[in-house]
Amino acid sequence: MDSNVILQVRNIEKSFPGVKALDRINFSVKRGTVHALCGENGAGKSTLMKIINGLYKPDAGEILINGRVVEIHSAMQARMLGISMINQELNFVPEMTVAENFVIGNWPTAKGGRVNWRYIRQRAKQLLEEADLPYGLDVKLKELSISDIQLLEIAKATAYNADIIIMDEPTSAISDKEIAVLFGKIDELRRQGTSIIYISHKLDEVFEIADEITVMRDGQIVETGPIDKFDKSTVIALMVGRELSQNYPKEEVPLGTELLWVEGLTSSGAFDSISLSVRAGEIVGLAGLVGAGRTEVLRALFGLNPYQAGEIWIDGRSLRVRSPEDSIAHGLIMLSEDRRRYGIIPVRSVKENVTITRLEEFIYGGRWRRLKEIERVEELCTRMNVKTPSINTDISALSGGNQQKVVLAKWMIQDPKVLLLDEPTRGIDVGAKYEIHKLMITLAKEGKGILMVSSELPELVGMCDRIYVMAEGKIRGELRRDQFSQEAIMHLAVGQ
């Protein structure tokens, strides 16, 4: 074994019911390098990393650290061996404070075995200052946004002085400015000899920071080597096993009547005087930097957050939205940016996740119409192109892209008029993104209206008919397709 190799896995295999997740994987990482791991959702990337981090036990194969075979049975043991991981799906306790978050699972104690709160607070303050994060020590995580929690997870992972840091989609919910800070930290860690395994679907990032790249497909390694041997087109072709004919499958769709009209919507401290509209067949973007108020607008429209003033009209009818039940009853639904927290029930099957919003459809005369339920779910999963061994498979066993398609299927059972999509392709690979985009076009052709929040400017430019741009809780401008450019959007997003 090369003495410069810090981590090596040999012939790793892992299966789940009905799925061969990893098939004889051989993979190695050199000391002081950034090794990018690319592949579609379901390729096996996260499964491999969870094995290295002790969250899963492999069915076969071995792991070597510095040439020595080790068995890793838990994340705590992995940490003792010098491995730290930022998970793609953020796992946190909403009721815990920022300070507590830094020591969860590894509570420092003082004399008598009591928790050393003084040390915890001092350490948390130090870590926040080093990462230039402005959060109070006693703020509960439930009060923070997904991007805030993502930044805390990054700070926590880099605080353990680990020799190997696994970053699974670390930039999926943070701004360009915060990404630049993270890349600076990665460069610093690389110079110190720390090895980074970097998983991202954003190939621009991969080619900016990686030294080496490994591409996975269908649970196997298909190619590995120095980054300068690859280009983006090659990586995409290796990931999906096919050429994608174009980045965005946008089509011109005839526009119909106004399905959503919002005038003067205001929520104290979140956004002010929001006015927008969406027509049948139209995909409208809501752009802006993190903290601009985009998600808060969608949550208010869906009834998750209160608003103090303004009017909402859906398909010509005025509506006072007090809860999600109000919006759903009038044909307006929402996909949350936090799929795991708000979109799915992880311990339930695909079937149960799809039918949860319309159980009454399958009850007749006090009896459960199971065959009708199965037929309806299979029809929707086929339409959404959900890849699952069975509709009875736990949704947690599916890739992120397929989980997102199940969430779409859950709402399609309601036959909605307007879809609010908050970061619909966050953490999804290029192949699954393309499928989600095609589904959006199909829905637009069916006469549905879509209001989409995305932090990826190329996605907004590639998919939308119009774009509203927000900054500091207000809409700063509206752009038509012939006015689209990333520069124009950013100009408005920074308040110009």
What is the model's pLDDT at position 112? 77
| DSSP state for residue 69 in the 8-state scheme | E
pLDDT-derived band of residue 170, with 50, 70 and 90 as boundaries? Answer: confident
**Count of CB atoms situated within 10 Å of the CB of 206:** 21
- Check residue 387 and give its pLDDT: 85
pLDDT confidence of residue 384: 84
What CA–CA distances, in Å, run from 280 to 17, 59, 122, 261, 460? 42, 51, 55, 12, 18
DSSP structure string for 107-162? --B-GGG-B-HHHHHHHHHHHHHHTT----TT-BGGGS-HHHHHHHHHHHHGGG--
pLDDT surpasses 90 at 177: no
Measured CA to CA in angstroms, residue 286 lies from 280, 422, 451 at distances of 17, 9, 7
Instruction: State the pTM of this model.
Output: 0.62
Which band of pLDDT confidence, cut at 50, 70 and 90, is reported for residue 362? Answer: confident
When the pLDDT of each residue in the chain is averaged and rounded to a whole number, the result is 87
Cα distance between residue 304 and residue 337, in whole Å:
13
Strands (E) across 308-460 are located at: 309-314, 317-319, 332-335, 363-364, 367-368, 418-422, 449-453
Does 207 have pLDDT greater than 90? Answer: yes
Q: Is 138 exposed, middle or buried (0-12, 13-18, 19+ CB in 10 A)?
A: exposed
Cα-based torsion angle of the residue sequence 310, 316, 318, 323 in order, rounded to the nearest 10 degrees:
-90
Element housing 236 (H / E):
helix 232-240
User: Model confidence over 3-52: pLDDT tens digits?
Assistant: 789 999 999 999 876 678 899 999 999 999 999 998 876 688 888 999 99
Transcribe 185-234 into DSSP letters.
HHHHHHHTT-EEEEE-S-HHHHHHH-SEEEEEETTEEEEEEEGGG--HHH
Q: Is the confidence at residue 434, as pLDDT, over 80?
A: yes
**Between 385 and 11, the higher pLDDT residue:** 11
Tell me, what's the pLDDT at 18? 63
**Among 88-102, 395-409, 413-427, which stretch is predicted with the lowest mean pLDDT?**
88-102
How large is the average pLDDT for residues 245-261? 86
Choice between 28 and 89, residue whose per-residue pLDDT is larger:
28
Q: Is the predicted pLDDT of residue 224 greater than 70, yes or no?
A: yes
Q: Of the given ranges (83-97, 284-298, 363-377), which has the lowest mean pLDDT?
A: 83-97
pLDDT of residue 203: 83
Q: How far apart are CA 295 and CA 88, in angstroms?
A: 20
* Domains of the chain, start order: 5-240 (3.40.50.300), 258-493 (3.40.50.300)
- Are the C-beta atoms of 388 and 350 separated by less than 8 Å? yes
Q: Is 463 helix (H, G, I), strand (E, B) or coil?
A: helix
Percent of the chain with pLDDT over 90: 44
